[in-house]
Structure 1
Amino acid sequence: MRRADATLGGMTDTRRRYIPPAGHVRLRLTVSWDGAAYAGWQSQASVPSVQDTLQGAFQHLTSAVFRPVAAGRTDAGVHAEAMPVHMDVPESFGVPLPRLAQALNAHLPPTLAVLDAEETPSGFHARFSCAERRYVYRVLRTPQRRPLWEGRALHVRGELDVGAMNAAAASLIGTHDFAAFATQEDRQTVRELRGLTVKPVGEIWEIHVAGQSFLRHMVRGLVGTLLLVGAGKLEANAVTEILASRQRSQAGANVPAHGLYFSGASYGGQGRG
């Protein structure tokens, strides 16, 4: 396999530490999975993880691979539609890239699939090069549950005011301290929220969220708060007071993980989004 160029245009010295080990090339994959089957992306003892399952598939093709690295470390039960992942493999790796997704999928369960694979410049890092991450939370808006959406969307029977929800969402966009929406977070809690929009699409309402990085359970806390606004249990203008309070108890409860999807990521000048 040809080695990708070791530099990226404008790559800083900091990014040089992201290059693969000597004798290896870096691959970029797009991966999708059903979160119900996994305890999240990150490897954990005694429970299935996406990271371990994907690495296991690679080890059917070559034993000399490193740990896969994803753009985001999703929690247990969270789905992924298009998660960028990088993996370092030996230069002698013999599977042609056009056949790699199919070869890996032959060793993966039905709950996990590689959608595509390509070689990437060696300075690319799925996590640290990521300029924006996007999530979608899906809400099933029907009087009765729908079995085909079980485990795929949160069922809400009552009426929701989409205008009030979007008004509340708009007031949260920007750079703020989001401590009130995070769970057991020990990192600094200032983040830039670039997008938060409620889009009714027939029976399924989608809440789209975008930012470079998020706090633990931040997206689920934001959605839970917007649902309180939509149900008339919280005024739209109250969310700014919740934000300023920095108190998790003031915001809505975390919505269940099964309605949340990692929907995509962007990498600026380092390739496709």
Structure 2
Amino acid sequence: MEDTLQRFFLEIAYDGTAYHGWQVQDNAVSVQQKLNEALGKMLGGTIETIGAGRTDTGVHAKQLFVHLDIPLDRTRNESRFLHSLNSLLPPDIAVHRIFAVANDAHARFDATERAYEYHLHFKKDPFLVFRSWQLREMPDIALMNRAATFLIGTQDFSCFSKSHTQVFTNICTVKEAYWGETENGLVFHIRANRFLRNMVRAIVGTLLDIGLKKKTPEAILEIISSKDRSHAGTSVPAHGLYLTKVVYPYIDNIF
């Protein structure tokens, strides 16, 4: 008699420094590859996972959900399952939780909201080399926050998208966008229903141009209207970017 398969979500986190992004690739090591390999060793056979989205090379995730289908009886002891899986994963990838979901639940397509942070620091710090971007000049936070208000709402964000990406639309609904101060520097927070490839890093680069007074806050309106990537700022380095939250309508209570 075959084991009954159940769909589960895993909540994971990782430091993306050593990886060429989340998604499995032919000639590079990815986070998904390491997770699939560890699951395969623990459960036997080939295990395929589907993530809530892809992160690029060097980008980190404080929270990412993946789904997979595995025999129900292999997960009855949650703490043992997590301990075994984490022992097989490298130290820069961690699985925090596993929980059963409906068999048609989808980690990518069911997500209704995602949030990112971009971290900046200004003083040389060896402990932040791969976790925050060092900027030499302090930007004007008030100007950047004024410009960030123009990002809020449902708009075509083609100007911040990597060229030649295959998506059905470049329209996104940004629900929150602002800069805040930290002990070491600044953090940009942004929350939306979906993001385009390279979108956050391009937005941060554009806002920094405004904060450094190369453009006015209102210039971002013209940039968005242009739908032209060449009108926006340079993409900032990947290592300052973190995926911080993914929301689903049927598991809101767990956040």
TM-score range, shorter chain: over 0.9
TM-score (norm 2): 0.93
- Equivalent-residue separation in structure 2 for 1:156 and 1:266 (angstroms): 31
Note the C-alpha offset of 1:65: 5.3
Unmatched 5+ residue regions in structure 2? none
How far off is 1:88 after superposition? 1.0
Aligned to 2:104: 123
Paired position in structure 1 for 2:157 = 178
| Count of residue pairs brought into register by the alignment | 251
- 1:54-109 CA-partner distances (Å, limit 9, x unpaired): 01111121124541111111111100111111121123426622222211111111
CA 1:119–1:140: 2 relative to 1, 3 Å: same
CA distance in structure 1 between the partners assigned to 2:80 and 2:192 by the alignment: 33
Secondary structure of the residue aligned to 1:41 is coil
Structure 1 or 2: more helix by fraction: 2
Q: Distance in 2 between matches of 1:94 and 1:249?
A: 49
User: Does structure 2 conserve the Cα–Cα contact (< 8 Å) formed by 1:181 and 1:251?
Assistant: yes
Other-structure match for 2:125 = 146
Partner in structure 2 of residue 61 of structure 1: 42
Tell me the distance in 2 between the aligned counterparts of 1:95 and 1:108: 20
For residues 89 and 30 of structure 1, the distance between their equivalents in structure 2, rounded to whole angstroms, comes to 16
Aligned pairs for 1:229-268 (under 5 A) are 229-268=210-249
2:137 maps to: 158
Q: Using the alignment, how far apart are the partners of 2:211 and 2:75 within structure 1?
A: 54
Superposed structure 1 runs of 4+ greater than 6 Å apart: none
What is the TM-score when the length of structure 1 is the normalising length? 0.87
Secondary structure of the 2:209 match is helix
Identity %: 36
Task: For 1:238 and 1:107, locate their aligned partners in 2 and report how far apart those are by CA, in whole Å.
Answer: 50
Q: Secondary structure at the match of 1:106?
A: helix
Shift of 1:196: 1.0
RMSD: 1.7
Which whole-Å CA distance do the structure 1 matches of 2:31 and 2:172 have between them? 26
Offset of 1:171 from its aligned partner? 0.7
Q: 1: CA distance between counterparts of 2:196 and 2:214?
A: 25
